Structure 1
């Protein structure tokens, strides 16, 4: 009886954990990040990204919003160039649930297994978004943020998901030196 009550909670936890974005960043420890005030997008790099133009615009809009919130200004003569790069891969999830009681894993017929078993197969797309900050004068990458998470094909939720990816990645900029 307790298992039946805990199952919805477990499924909610699994779904919630799948929707999160994990982030990492790396940076040049010799750079003074406080000297950067303006930015522009690195068009040559962004043009090479193999995603739809709609998704590119969603990402760039989200970056604009985050940079403005951090006090940066878009400029024709920027301190920083921002580039993006994406990767994706299909994830196949197989879940088997054995109901009832009995011995073993429920392979074949078992007189002690009263409830049977159920197997669910689902697919999802896992994506990675990289955001690179390049010193415009030196033409050197000074910071890179990376976000990994499950993507959605639902167009009404794409804006939310991309905003979440970009927001969590750029929350790590500027880096806090320890």
Structure 2
């Protein structure tokens, strides 16, 4: 009976883990991040990103929101330049269910049920990179990356982008 009660919790955990964003960051350990108070977007780098302009705007708005929460302000003479780039990978899952009965390992042969059902599903895993570049030295000082499954639903897309950006920038500034 306990296993029946445990099953919904396990299913919820599995579904929840599928929607999570995995994040990593790397940074220059010799940089004092407390010196950075202002930022601007690196337009030439962002223009090269091969995603829709609407998604770029969503990402940039999410970055603005998160950096503002950290006390940073947007400036014409910034301390940091913010650049982004993306990668995506299509994943195809094929599941086959065989029907039958018989002896031996697994399922046997059944003359009334030929084969089984094959299900094919696809999903897109995306990776968002956020680079923070020292504006004076023109050197990369921090890079964060978040990977997870993307959605095509417009209503959920902005929510998903906000989640990606928030989790990535949660690691900025780094704690040494």
TM-score by length of 1: 0.86
1:3-56 Cα shifts (integer Å, max 9, x gaps): 877665544333221110000000000000000000000000000000000000
Query: Does the 8 Å CA contact 2:41/2:81 hold for their aligned counterparts?
Result: yes
Q: Structure 1, unaligned stretches of length 5 or more?
A: 111-115
Aligned to 1:64: 64
Contact 2:99-2:107 within 8 A present in 1 as well:
no
Query: Taking structure 2 as the reference length, what is the TM-score of the superposition?
Result: 0.87
C-alpha distance 63-99 of structure 1, shift in aligned 2 (>3 A):
farther
Once residues 157 and 12 of structure 1 are traced to their aligned partners in structure 2, the CA distance between those partners, rounded to angstroms, is: 19
Q: Deviations over 1:62-89 (max 9, x none)?
A: 0000000000000000000000000001
Task: State the partner residue of 2:53.
Answer: 53
The alignment yields a C-alpha RMSD, in angstroms, of 2.9
Aligned ranges 1:1-20 → 2 under 5 Å? 9-20=9-20
- For the 8 Å contact 1:37–1:71, the answer to whether it is kept is yes
Q: 2: distance between equivalents of 1:108 and 1:47?
A: 58
